[in-house]
Amino acid sequence: MLSGSEKYYDDIYSDMGKNYAEEADKIHHWIQKCKRTDGKLLLDVACGTGTHAGFLSKYYTVEGIDINAEMLKVARKKHPSIRFHQGDMRNFDLGRQFDVLTCLFSAIGYMKTKADLRKAIKNMSRHLLSGGVLLVEPWFSEEEWNVGRVSVNFVDKPNLKIVRMNRAGKRGKVSLLEFQYLIGTSRGIQHIVEHHEFGLFAHEEYMDAYTSAGLQVTYDSEGLFGRGLYIGTKPMK
């Protein structure tokens, strides 16, 4: 999990060229194609710093939920008009249902076992109205995961310099990512080390999690930026 880099998350992915506005427009297109409800209530699960939520609020009445309190601090500061909650995607309970749920940027990968994947999808489905839509952007499959791969990213701003290097590993059906950051500001240079673990699930396991949760599921192989997208609709009663 993140442990100190949260405040720099947006700087890093902005410099990597992640286009949240374009992704929100694509999400809106898929929602309009699949949604069978009349409402516009959307819950962004694992919302992080709230960037997708902010752009999606152009189309929907958006709320967000995330397990990481520090990420939520950033989200609330950026988007004071959006309601954010803290909770685990496997067992959060907001006591009401939404027209749309999204779980983007491969956050579902933090579910490291098939049982947890099914719990998360089932819990998100439970928060969907009949005719509502659940969109989940998957993490890599076991076949796609490149063990030993090393990557580096840079942020070069007048008062902020960041080098983030990561190396990919694997343990069973869990992918391992070690991140090391050097963060330079006028106050000094900070070194942060983080270890992340993501479940490596097959396409069939995602599809099974959706159908087991009672959802009618389709798959778009391209998705938002090449990782695919699972789109499930809750049957009308």
pLDDT of residue 20: 97
| Token pair recorded at residue 81 | 């008009």
For the domain made up of 6-141+202-233, the CATH class stated in words is alpha beta
Which residue from 213, 155, 134 is spatially nearest to 9, judged by alpha carbons?
A: 155
Averages of pLDDT over each 10 residues, the chain, 237 residues: 83 94 97 97 98 98 97 97 98 98 98 98 98 98 97 96 98 98 96 97 98 98 96 95
What end-to-end distance do the CA atoms of the chain give, in Å? 39
pLDDT of residue 58: 97
**What pTM, to 2 d.p., does this model score?**
0.97
CATH 3.40.50.150 in the chain: give the residue spans. 6-141+202-233
Structural fold of domain 150-199: S-adenosyl-L-methionine-dependent methyltransferases (2.20.130)
Residues 117 and 95 sit within 8 Å (Cβ to Cβ): no
pLDDT of residue 3: 67
pLDDT of residue 4: 79
Strand order in the sheet with 229-233: 83-86, 61-66, 41-45, 98-103, 128-136, 229-233, 216-220
CATH 2.20.130.10 in the chain: give the residue spans. 150-199
Residue 223, CA distances (Å) to 31, 73, 168 in order: 13, 29, 23
